[in-house]
Amino acid sequence: MQKNDTILSLTANLLANGAFNHLEDDKVSALHRLILKLTEPLTPIQQNLLLGFWNHACTDSLPGSLLYRCNTILYQLGRTPMEMQESEIEMY
């Protein structure tokens, strides 16, 4: 695992890539403040708090590499991976 593949850094990347844009502004603001306040290593409570946001991430516009890195962490922790949202493709 790369050094920048920590739960904290991946959460910041998810935020930067719009994964939480669908959430209410106050929740996104709280996440942003939390990311700025936390430092590694995270406590189990802090880790679970950030991973709780991951459960609500919208993956339809995420880069595949970011989704893969997040899912790697989730698999390692025995959690359910994020699913790629597939848009409808019309076949002619």
The answer to whether residue 50 sits within a structural domain is yes
The DSSP secondary-structure symbol of 80 reads P
pTM, 2 dp: 0.86
For residues 51 and 7, is the Cβ–Cβ distance under 8 A? yes
Instruction: Report how many domains make up the chain.
Output: 1
* Structural domain boundaries enclosing 18: 7-76
Q: What is the enclosing helix (H) or strand (E) of 62?
A: none
Calculate the CA 55 to chain-centre distance.
8
The answer to whether residue 86 sits within a structural domain is no
User: In angstroms, rounded to a whole number, what is the distance separating the alpha carbons of residues 15 and 4?
Assistant: 15
Each residue's pLDDT, cut to its tens digit, for the chain (92 residues) gives 455 689 999 999 999 999 999 999 999 999 999 999 999 999 999 999 999 999 999 999 999 999 999 999 999 999 999 986 554 444 44
Burial (CB count <10 Å: 0-12, 13-18, 19+), residue 7: buried
The answer to whether residue 54 sits within a structural domain is yes
The answer to whether residue 81 sits within a structural domain is no
